């Protein structure tokens, strides 16, 4: 069974590319499930209910998010009613939405999707590893789900790597999001869990992590800064493609996925 995970969608151009290409991508790659992080899909800051509906309609099974999930006020009511849009599980108690879900395809295969947020260099949240303990106890491969994907949204590569090893043997894939740059460490860990420190973004890489490069660079050279705008060049769609052995729920193979834009000719699927 094959699962495609795509990293943070940044802005309208990338969002449209994902929506337009998704039906063909699913067919070409033979994906049983597709998961996409959408937390920057609305102008680079947050996501709206209408955008989520468009993403679900194009063939995405589950949407994950991160620290920008509540940037658009209208998303709160939608989160409370749409189980397939996740916010980090270890956010403060009482917030709308939830951080994990189990979905099932037409063949009856059960996929668990988990959204966690890191603690280092991020806004304050409950300990991510304590939240992981609860997930491992309640969502077990072979018993509760046939496969499991964990989106770990965070800044520090060390914390992401630690989480990958923490879930090794308990998840099909652990993949980092948030830093918008695809890392070169896609592999299957010793216990059978596929891992990549960061999936990268779906966005224009002729930019500074998806934002206009001149405005972003000025922040480092003494400029006044201000609110950044999304770069609008040709987007690259970036993520991870993992083949899962249904008998165990563990990964047989994992490959970085990069398609289109500035990263079109880099080595990946």
pLDDT at 147: 98
pLDDT at 268: 67
pLDDT at 68: 97
pLDDT at 266: 82
- Give the count of beta carbons closer than 10 Å to the beta carbon of residue 129: 15
Closest CA to 82 of 67, 60, 110: 60
pLDDT at 224: 67
Note whether 211 and 180 are within 8 A (CB): no
User: Which domains are assigned to the chain?
Assistant: 2-263 (3.60.21.10)
User: What's the CA gap between 82 and 218, in Å, rounded?
Assistant: 39
pLDDT at 267: 64
Note whether 123 and 67 are within 8 A (CB): yes
pLDDT, mean of each 10-residue run, the chain (269 residues): 98 98 98 98 97 98 98 97 98 96 98 98 96 98 98 98 98 98 98 98 97 90 80 97 98 98 82
pLDDT at 21: 98
pLDDT at 222: 84
pLDDT at 180: 98
Residues taking part in catalysis: 68
Total residue length of the chain: 269
Note whether 177 and 66 are within 8 A (CB): yes
């Amino acid at each position: 069974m094959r699962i495609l995970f795509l990293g943070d969608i940044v802005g309208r151009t990338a969002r449209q590319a994902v929506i337009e290409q998704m039906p063909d991508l699913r067919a070409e790659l033979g994906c049983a499930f597709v998961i996409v992080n959408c937390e920057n899909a609305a102008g680079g800051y947050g996501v709206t209910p209408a955008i989520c509906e468009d993403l679900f309609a194009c063939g995405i099974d589950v949407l994950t998010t991160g620290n920008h999930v509540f940037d658009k006020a209208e998303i709160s009511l939608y989160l409370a009613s749409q189980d397939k849009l996740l916010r980090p599980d270890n956010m403060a108690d009482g917030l709308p939405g939830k951080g994990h879900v189990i979905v099932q395809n037409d063949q009856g295969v059960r996929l668990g999707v988990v959204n966690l947020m890191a603690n280092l260099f991020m806004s304050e949240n409950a300990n991510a590893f304590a939240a992981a303990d609860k997930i491992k106890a309640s969502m077990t491969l072979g018993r509760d789900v046939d496969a499991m994907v964990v989106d770990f949204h965070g800044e520090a590569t060390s914390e992401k790597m630690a989480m990958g090893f923490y879930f090794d043997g308990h998840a099909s894939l652990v993949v980092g999001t948030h830093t918008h740059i695809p890392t070169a460490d896609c592999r299957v860990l010793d216990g059978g869990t596929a891992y990549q420190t960061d999936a990268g973004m779906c966005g224009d890489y002729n930019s500074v992590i998806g934002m206009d490069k001149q405005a972003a660079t000025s922040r480092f050279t003494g400029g006044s800064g201000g609110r950044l705008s999304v770069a609008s060049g040709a987007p690259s769609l970036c993520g991870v493609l993992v083949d899962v052995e249904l008998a165990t729920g563990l990964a047989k193979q994992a490959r970085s996925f990069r398609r289109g834009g500035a990263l079109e000719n880099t080595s990946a699927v």
